[in-house]
């Protein structure tokens, strides 16, 4: 394939309710959609960078800038393009995984549409539907949290993840466990703790959590290994895992017993699959993380989460968990599951009328 055009589209997506984590409260997503045009047809991708560099170092204006100035021109200059060439061509630029992921997804979508193959079939999916979990933000009070969790369980979600931080951990976990009994329950700290909190975090052990996600700083692999010797709840890494190589190192060092595979964080779906493969080879269960993607990113996540090593329930929720109106046909929960798209490429595309309404800017990247 030859890259003829790259279009960057910013869409404003208000959240149905504020989402609070240890790194702040968000009321809307400022999403960067990537549309490419090739000689074989068009393709879509989603760049999941948030507005501020608080979850990770990337942020949406920076992602748009690096795509415009470096990544897209390099792809255009690289000649014959295909899914696997993207990572090779972009490898000379450091970091910027979310920007790379958005571009790689668009190239894969274009290629697979032309070949009439689904993303799931391309990646090696083993199932046609995926069980869904929901990530529940920090709330102002425990009763408010219990109401939210009750609503999600009634909708059919099969696993609950609570965001925690110092001051909002033992009490909400105990309350949810007492009220809802034997549900699949886990927590995510988004780096809010220190190794010196090990004794405190060990008090979560009695609540039989599936895992505790990313308690310590992104670069603190040894700290997580040390923590794992004090806490019996399995430790899962999110922010720390940026590649198959870092996954292999974290596993070898005993820093994690479970891995959150989040395509946006690792440069795209092909590296995400490599992480899945490394984890499967090491007996480490994985699950698919999320960045509050629109339907474009959600479709791709569903394809990935259908791989055989995804044995734990992930953060892929229905469209209406986050958005009153998704940019694609909405994904609806059925018996706690979402269907893996079967159409060519992502199997979905933005709906032109919705896209029109939510778009705040469109730029055409000059490809030189």
Name the segment binding Mg ion (CB under 5 A); options: 96-104, 118-126, 208-216, 242-250.
Answer: 208-216
Q: Which does 186 bind (CB under 5 to 8 A by kind): Mg ion, ligand NPQ, none?
A: none
Give the single-character DSSP code of 100. Answer: H
Q: Which does 268 bind (CB under 5 to 8 A by kind): ligand NPQ, Mg ion, none?
A: none
CA-wise closest residue to 107 among 83, 88, 90:
83
Angle at which helices 295-305 and 97-115 cross, to 10°: 80
| Least distance CB 88 / Mg ion (angstroms) | 28
Q: Is 161 a catalytic residue?
A: no
| Cβ atoms 34, 45 nearer than 8 A | yes
CA-wise closest residue to 322 among 17, 31, 30:
17
CA distances (Å), 346 to each of 96, 105, 193, 323, in order?
22, 9, 37, 19
Could you give phi then psi for residue 253, rounded to 5 degrees? -85, -5
User: Please, what sign has the CA dihedral across residues 77, 83, 85, 90?
Assistant: positive
Question: Applying CB under 5 A, what is the total number of residues that bind Mg ion?
Answer: 3
**Residue 169 binds Mg ion (CB under 5 A):** no
Residue nearest to Mg ion (CB): 238
Residues that bind ligand NPQ (CB under 6 A): 19, 21, 26, 29, 50, 55, 135, 188, 190, 238, 289-292, 315
Q: Which does 19 bind (CB under 5 to 8 A by kind): ligand NPQ, Mg ion, none?
A: ligand NPQ
Give the single-character DSSP code of 118. Answer: B
**229: burial class by Cβ within 10 Å (0-12, 13-18, 19+)?**
exposed
| Least distance CB 239 / Mg ion (angstroms) | 7
Name the segment binding Mg ion (CB under 5 A); options: 20-28, 57-65, 75-83, 211-219.
Answer: 211-219
Of the two residues 138 and 340, which places its CB atom closer to ligand NPQ in the complex?
138
CA-wise closest residue to 163 among 185, 180, 178, 179:
185
| Cβ atoms 222, 255 nearer than 8 A | yes
| Least distance CB 8 / ligand NPQ (angstroms) | 19
Q: Which does 21 bind (CB under 5 to 8 A by kind): ligand NPQ, Mg ion, none?
A: ligand NPQ
Of the two residues 213 and 293, which places its CB atom closer to Mg ion in the complex?
213
Q: Which does 135 bind (CB under 5 to 8 A by kind): ligand NPQ, Mg ion, none?
A: ligand NPQ
| Least distance CB 9 / ligand NPQ (angstroms) | 18
Q: Which does 301 bind (CB under 5 to 8 A by kind): Mg ion, ligand NPQ, none?
A: none
| Least distance CB 25 / Mg ion (angstroms) | 16
Of the two residues 115 and 360, which places its CB atom closer to ligand NPQ in the complex?
360
Binding mask 227-246 for Mg ion (x = CB under 5 A): -----------x--------
**Binding residue for Mg ion (CB under 5 A) from 104, 109, 188, 220?**
188
Per the document, the length of the chain is 368
Query: Of these residues, 2, 100, 161, 262, which one is catalytic?
Result: 262
| Least distance CB 21 / ligand NPQ (angstroms) | 5
Active site residues: 163, 262
Point out which residues bind Mg ion (CB under 5 A). Answer: 188, 213, 238
């Amino acid at each position: 394939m030859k890259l003829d055009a790259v279009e960057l589209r910013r869409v404003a997506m208000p959240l149905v309710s504020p989402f609070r984590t240890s790194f702040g409260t968000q009321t809307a997503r400022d999403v960067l959609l990537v549309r490419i045009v090739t000689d074989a047809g068009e393709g879509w991708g989603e760049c999941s960078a948030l507005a501020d560099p608080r979850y990770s170092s990337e942020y949406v204006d920076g992602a748009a800038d690096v795509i415009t100035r470096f990544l897209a021109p390099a792809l255009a200059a690289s000649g014959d393009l295909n899914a696997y060439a993207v990572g090779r061509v972009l490898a000379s630029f450091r970091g910027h995984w979310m920007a790379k992921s958005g571009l790689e997804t668009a190239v894969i979508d274009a290629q697979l549409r032309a070949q009439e193959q689904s993303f799931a079939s391309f990646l090696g999916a083993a199932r046609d539907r995926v069980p869904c979990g929901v990530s529940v933000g920090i709330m102002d009070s425990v009763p408010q949290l219990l109401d939210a969790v009750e609503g999600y369980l009634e909708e059919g979600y099969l696993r609950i993840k609570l965001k925690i931080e110092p001051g909002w951990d033992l009490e909400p976990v105990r309350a949810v466990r007492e009220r809802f009994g034997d549900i699949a329950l886990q927590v995510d700290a988004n780096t809010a703790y220190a190794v010196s909190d090990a004794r405190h975090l060990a008090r979560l052990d009695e609540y039989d959590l599936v895992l505790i996600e990313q308690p310590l700083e992104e670069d603190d692999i040894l700290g997580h290994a040390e923590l794992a010797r004090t806490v019996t709840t399995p430790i899962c890494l999110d922010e720390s895992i940026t590649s198959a190589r870092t996954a292999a190192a974290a596993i070898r060092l005993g820093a994690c017993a479970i891995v959150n595979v989040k395509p946006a964080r690792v440069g795209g779906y092909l590296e995400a699959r490599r992480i899945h493969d490394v984890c499967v080879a090491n007996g480490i269960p994985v699950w698919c993380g999320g960045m509050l993607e629109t339907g474009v990113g959600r479709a791709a996540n569903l394809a990935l989460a259908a791989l055989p090593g995804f044995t734990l329930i992930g953060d892929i929720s229905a469209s209406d968990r986050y958005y009153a109106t998704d940019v694609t046909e909405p994904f609806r929960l059925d018996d706690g599951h979402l269907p893996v798209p079967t159409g060519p490429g992502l199997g979905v595309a933005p709906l032109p009328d919705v896209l029109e309404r939510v778009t705040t800017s469109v730029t055409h990247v000059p490809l030189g």
